[in-house]
Structure 1
Amino acid sequence: MATVEHCLYCFETLAARLEKRTPMTLYQVQSSWAAYPKEDSPPTTKPKLPALQRLSESRSSSTGSSTPSSSTSTTSLTPASSLSSFSPIGLHPRRTSQRSSTLTESPLFVTWNTLSSSSPHQKSLRGCIGTFTSTPLSAGLSSYALASAIQDDRFSPISLRELSSLEVSVTLLTDFETCPSPLDWEIGVHGIRISFYARNKRYGACYLPDVAVEQEWDKEETVVSAMRKAGWGGRREKWMEVGDLKVVRFQGVAESVGWGEFRRWREWVEKGKEEGK
Structure 2
Amino acid sequence: MATVAHCLYCFETLAAYLESRKPLSLKEIEEAWNEHPEAGAEDASKTESLEKRIPALRRVADSTSSASTSSSPSSNSTVSLTTETAATSTDSLADAITESPLFVTWNTVSPRSGHTSLRGCIGTFEAQELDEGLSSYAITSAVHDMRFDPISKREISSLEVAVTLLTDFEDCADAMDWEIGTHGLRISFTERGRRYGATYLPDVAAEQGWTKEETLVSLMRKAGWVGKKDKWQGVDLKVVRYQGRKKSLQYPAYKQWRDWVNSRDEDEA
Is it true that 1:268 corresponds to 2:264 in the alignment?
no
User: Which of 167, 177, 183 is the equivalent residue of 2:170?
Assistant: 177
Q: Which residue of 2 aligns with 1:83?
A: none
Higher relative contact order (CA 8 A, sep 6+): 1
5 Å-filtered alignment, 1:1-277, equals: 1-38=1-38, 76=76, 100-120=94-114, 122-243=115-236, 245-276=237-268
Q: TM-score, normalised by structure 1?
A: 0.78
Q: Which runs of 5+ in 1 are unaligned?
A: 42-68, 79-98
Maintained 8 Å contact 1:196/1:203: yes
Deviation at 1:77, TM superposition (A): 5.8
Deviation at 1:117, TM superposition (A): 1.1
- Aligned residue pairs, count: 227
Judged with a 3 Å threshold, the aligned counterparts in structure 2 of structure 1 residues 242 and 39 are, in CA distance, closer, same or farther, namely closer
Q: Which runs of 5+ in 2 are unaligned?
A: 42-59, 65-71, 79-92
What CA deviation, in whole Å up to 9, does each residue of 1:112-154 have, x standing for no partner?
A: 000001022x010000000001111000000000000000000
Judged with a 3 Å threshold, the aligned counterparts in structure 2 of structure 1 residues 9 and 227 are, in CA distance, closer, same or farther, namely same
Could you tell me how far apart the structure 1 residues matched to 2:39 and 2:11 are? 21
Judged with a 3 Å threshold, the aligned counterparts in structure 2 of structure 1 residues 241 and 135 are, in CA distance, closer, same or farther, namely same
Maintained 8 Å contact 2:196/2:225: yes
Judged with a 3 Å threshold, the aligned counterparts in structure 2 of structure 1 residues 73 and 114 are, in CA distance, closer, same or farther, namely farther
Judged with a 3 Å threshold, the aligned counterparts in structure 2 of structure 1 residues 251 and 39 are, in CA distance, closer, same or farther, namely closer
Q: TM-score, normalised by structure 2?
A: 0.80
Judged with a 3 Å threshold, the aligned counterparts in structure 2 of structure 1 residues 170 and 21 are, in CA distance, closer, same or farther, namely same
Higher helix fraction (1 or 2): 2
Judged with a 3 Å threshold, the aligned counterparts in structure 2 of structure 1 residues 152 and 39 are, in CA distance, closer, same or farther, namely closer
Deviation at 1:253, TM superposition (A): 3.0
Runs (4 or more) in structure 1 with deviation over 2 Å come to 71-78
Aligned CA-pair RMSD: 2.1
Name the aligned partner's letter for residue 103 of structure 2: F
Deviation at 1:274, TM superposition (A): 1.1
Secondary structure at 1:76 match in 2: coil
